Amino acid sequence: MKKAYMKGILLAGVFLLFRPGDLFAHERVSADMVGLSPGQVLSVMTSDFLVPNGFGWLPGPMFYLGHKETLGLSSTQIEKIRKIARRIMPATIRQGRAIESLKKKVVRLSDGRLPLKENRLRRLLVRIGMMEANANLEHILAHRACLDLLTPGQQKRLFSILSPHTEKDPPNH
């Protein structure tokens, strides 16, 4: 089962590299950002983070860059969004690899043929939880930083673009 799952993620990553326009909140990768391996980033995020479903109303930098004309982004906004992408995408991969490494240790420690080391297992699970929480927070903050660069009119256009891609309206607060 795990082999099939990994093959599926690999195929999805390859697909996303060649068909990035089909993504929703992480869609349309601009040519200068392709080197950041968006397919790899997305595969890490879907296995270790809350995204992509969790960000239906909070897209990432690639969405903004893919819709720069529709949103009417200035050259300054575009450069700031690119800077956010260059920071968050490699960080997502690093964080995902570190989390995956610890998960492998949990699997080894859980082997029923070995003596149970409950305290070590508990520490690892807490560490994984904290790492995942921190990675999610960093990702959300990066997405919010992109949103914060938009004018109120651009935000209105953004949410009109997102509305066909989301299943329900944002909560009223």
Buried-exposed string 158-173: b where 16+ CB fall within 10 A, e elsewhere: beeebeeeeeeeeeee
How would residue 139 be classed by pLDDT, with cut points 50, 70 and 90? confident
Average pLDDT, the chain: 76
**Percent of the chain's residues with pLDDT above 70:** 62
- Banded pLDDT at 162 (limits 50, 70, 90): confident
For residue 11, the SS3 value is: helix
> Token pair of 27, please?
């869609």
Q: Does the pLDDT at position 168 exceed 70?
A: no
DSSP, collapsed to helix, strand or coil, labels residue 8 as helix
Measured in whole angstroms, how far is the alpha carbon of residue 153 from the centre of its chain? Answer: 26
134, containing H or E segment: helix 118-148
Check residue 163 and give its pLDDT.
80
Predicted TM-score (pTM) of this structure: 0.64
